Amino acid sequence: MRERPQPFVADRAMLAEATDLMARFGEHAPFEAAARADRSRDLGNVVHFCRWRQVERLVLLLSEEAPSGTVH
């Protein structure tokens, strides 16, 4: 099984965005984050594009049943 790269968590707000999407959109939360990233890209906002892509990865990580990566 290949491990997914761990997302970069820039700040607490990124975690709040990820958990908010999960609460509001359930299993569709990664798709909503991807859609927001695409909108940001279309508007030429590379900073928000990258942030929403990281939120998408974070949502996927938080949705996993088993821990991944290093467990302390």
For residue range 21-45, what is the model confidence (pLDDT) as tens digits? 999 999 999 999 999 999 999 999 9
Element (H, E) at 50: helix 46-63
pTM for the predicted model, two decimal places: 0.85
pLDDT for 59: 95
